[in-house]
Amino acid sequence: MRRRRGRRARPAPVDSDSFDLFLDALCNGLGVVMFIVMIVALFAKPPVGGGDASELKELQAALTKLETEVQATLAALKAIPPAGDPALTKRYKAALLAADESRQQREDALNRISATREVIEERTEEITQSEEDQQAQVKLQAEIAARMERLKYSTAFVRTSRWNTNDARAAVLLLVSGGRVSAPTVTPGDGEISPTPGIGELVSDADTARSAVTILLAGSSPSDRRVEVAVWPDSYATFKHLERELQERGFAIQPIPIADGQPLRSGDGGSQ
């Protein structure tokens, strides 16, 4: 015998109306309630030959309660608008639109938050880079200032040109060695002149240079005196302080660099 193939139940469409499903469930529930009422009505009749009065009253009360619930269910069912109600459809569509708008607003807010976070991160990187640049600039300025300070008090010796042979001003000789400035006594027969250790004015800054010039050139004027300065390598910094003070007072200066350990010899610089 050939077996009959039963028809397969078609799957319910996924997009069926949820309102129809609600009505089906409500009708099924109403049928169950009616079935219970019929059962109670059948078994609520008093037994033949008498029965317990109290039990009968309880059954009647239960029947009355069930009837009340049935009436309330029917009233609620009648209050529900039909599936094709335009007002219900309109509210349903409005709710869907509101949900879509809320979803779109949420996505827009998330996008704005993400964009704001990226801007904050970029701004933080810019601030960090700016702070690093400022620190590097401050460091560079400090280095430049330190170099300028070292150049200001440089110990490098620069020799100026020799005296003009037509200069009739008398020469004053100063020796700069060991951080001191001295004015030696020169006689016509001296061929070499060397500084005496520990003799002279100690010069280490502008104030001591001013004091030394005041003492060593007392009575001398830039109009009738020119200054020749013999400088040994250990006192170039001392000479720079002395040179600034002499220039401020208007004296013409002739520096004469001397090699370490060597004396000033006759004929060096402008001295004879």
Do the Cβ atoms of 183 and 164 come closer than 8 Å?
no
Q: pLDDT at position 81, please?
A: 59
Report the SS3 class of residue 9: coil
Amino acid making up residue 21: L
Cα–Cα distance measured from residue 272 to residue 258, given in angstroms and rounded to the nearest whole number: 16
pLDDT, tens digit only, all 272 positions of the chain: 444 444 554 554 444 566 666 777 777 777 777 777 777 666 655 554 444 567 667 777 777 777 777 777 767 666 665 556 677 677 767 777 777 777 787 777 778 887 888 888 888 888 888 888 888 888 888 888 877 766 554 444 444 444 444 667 888 899 999 999 998 887 777 778 888 888 899 999 999 999 999 999 888 889 888 999 999 999 999 999 999 999 999 999 999 999 988 888 865 554 33
Dist. CA 13–CA 119, nearest whole Å: 48
Give the CATH number of domain 170-265; options: 3.30.420, 1.10.10, 3.30.110, 2.60.40: 3.30.420
Q: CA end-to-end span of the chain, whole Å?
A: 152
Which tokens in the block code for residue 107?
A: 């996505």
10 Å Cβ neighbour count for 243?
Answer: 20
Comparing CA positions, the residue from 217, 213, 218, 271 lying closest to residue 241 is 213
Q: Strands 264-265 and 253-257: what pairing? A: unpaired
**Which of 210, 203, 198, 219 lies closest to 247 in space, CA to CA?**
210
The per-residue pLDDT for 229 is: 93
Residue 35 pLDDT: 75
Report the 10 Å Cβ neighbour count for 180: 20
Task: Return the bridge partners of 229, or none.
Answer: 174, 255
Which of 256, 123, 124 lies closest to 184, judged by CA? Answer: 256
Look at residue 27 in the predicted model and tell me its pLDDT. Answer: 75
**How do the domains of the chain map onto residue ranges?**
19-80, 85-152, 170-265
Distance CA 9, CA 41 (A): 38
Q: Are 171 and 270 in contact (CB under 8 A)?
A: yes
